Amino acid sequence: MNIFRIKLLLLFVFLGLNQGFSQTYKFKTTGLSVSVKGTNGKFGDWSPIKPVSIIVNLDTKKNRIAIYSEVIQLFEIVEYSPTEESKTDLIYGFVCKDNSGEDCMLSFITRKNQNNIQQLYVKYADRVLVYNIVNFK
């Protein structure tokens, strides 16, 4: 019986600490570019960067990423991908489902060799959107 109580106590402590580490991150977009997959199965050229000012919210407590564009884009985080780091990039990836249930991959990337420019990639099977972002205070 004591072992059961200890395990139960440890479970509550773990769940409490896990919730304590959840955070919310806010970003503001400065530009948007899009690439679409062509009939040949390859992605085409990127569109010219369009200036946009949109708030992006990454909420690890709710397992959600929200892009507050004209039509709000909500992404449920299904899986947190391992952080990837190379000489040129730092990547935080998330496997997600959007508002309509479509699978996609979101990646927050810091380009180390480009003055630490931050970008958010929203990648679907047939299209990719890239937002240039800055931290929002």
Task: Name the band, by pLDDT with cuts 50, 70 and 90, for residue 22.
Answer: low
pLDDT for 135: 94
Any domain includes 15: no
Any domain includes 27: yes
Any domain includes 7: no
Mean pLDDT of 123-137: 95
Any domain includes 123: yes
Assess whether pLDDT exceeds 80 at residue 4: no
Query: DSSP characters for 67-135?
Result: E-SSS-EEEEEEEEPPPEE-SSEEEEEEEEEETTS-EEEEEEEEEGGGTTEEEEEEE-SSEEEEEEEEE
Any domain includes 116: yes
pLDDT for 89: 96
Task: Name the band, by pLDDT with cuts 50, 70 and 90, for residue 92.
Answer: very high
Pairing of strands 55-59, 50-51: unpaired
Any domain includes 42: yes
pLDDT for 2: 52
Any domain includes 13: no
pLDDT for 68: 97
Q: What's the total number of domains in the chain?
A: 1
User: What is the span of the domain harbouring residue 97?
Assistant: 23-135
Assess whether pLDDT exceeds 50 at residue 8: no
Share of the chain above pLDDT 70, in %: 84
Any domain includes 18: no
Assess whether pLDDT exceeds 90 at residue 72: yes
- Using the CB atoms, write b or e for 48-74: b if 16+ within 10 Å: eeeeeebebbbeeeeebbbbeeeeebe
CA distance 77 to 94: 6
Assess whether pLDDT exceeds 70 at residue 77: yes
